[in-house]
Amino acid sequence: MRATGERPDGLRLRALIVILWRAGLRISEALALAETDLNPRRGAVIIRRGKGGKRREIGMDRWAWEQLEPWLTTRAMLPAAGLFCVIHGPTAGRRWEASAARKQLRRPAEAAGVRRRFAPHQLRHAHAVEMAHEGPQRVVIQRQHANLGITSIYLQGIDSSEIITTVHSRPAPVTLVLRFVSNATY
């Protein structure tokens, strides 16, 4: 995250990393977000069309909201559109495409010493692994991450509030965790 820089492009990239990593989103879900999908007071993010076209609400910890704030401030000065948008040129304000985001994520990954090719989905995996190590109930992780098919019938008793409360209790990452994420192999 430090390798992204402090310019608007870097702030946008850092915000994308935070959303992918700390909320466990897919790149398509993150890039489809609107500012109205964010509820910092509740600590929740609404995914309007996730995998399979499903709507869900997920939680994000306080540290992640703090990291997102510089981008939200910069974003307010750009034309209205999605949360993650093109910053420069005649298409400024339009939705940022996944291919462009992936390409821009590679540069800071290399600068940070990531040796393997970096894929945004690795941050989603890191989210699930970290949550499992931090001890939340497995069903909370599954509800935040997976299409459970038939087993979802058993999980209907868990509402979004419980998921959000569990995610809020996550500690802020430490440098050791950041190294783990950057050197992770999947």
So what's the architecture of 2-181 in CATH?
Orthogonal Bundle (1.10)
- Hey, how many other C-beta atoms are within 10 angstroms of the C-beta on 120? 22
State how far the Cα of 111 lies from the Cα of 109, in Å rounded to an integer.
5
* Residues designated catalytic: 26, 51, 121, 124, 145, 154
What's the pLDDT score for residue 123? 80
State the sign of the Cα–Cα–Cα–Cα dihedral 173, 138, 126, 152. Answer: negative
pLDDT at 80 (0 to 100):
78
The pLDDT assigned to 117 comes to 77
Secondary structure string (H, E, C) spanning the chain: CHHHCCCHHHHHHHHHHHHHHHCCCCHHHHHCCCHHHEECCCCEEEECCCHHHCCEEEECCHHHHHHHHHHHHHHCCCCCCCCCECCCCCCCCCECCHHHHHHHHHHHHHHCCCCCCCCCHHHHHHHHHHHHHHCCCHHHHHHHHCCCHHHHHHHCCCCHHHHHHHHHCCCCCCHHHHHHHHHCCC
- Give residue 12's pLDDT: 93
Which pLDDT value is given to residue 181?
A: 53
CA distance linking residue 23 with residue 64, whole number of Å: 8
Regions of the chain where pLDDT drops below 50: 147-158, 177-179, 185-186
What pLDDT, on a 0 to 100 scale, did the predictor assign at position 38? 94
What per-residue confidence (pLDDT) applies to 171? 79
Domain ranges of the chain: 2-181
Q: Please tell me the pTM assigned to this model.
A: 0.71
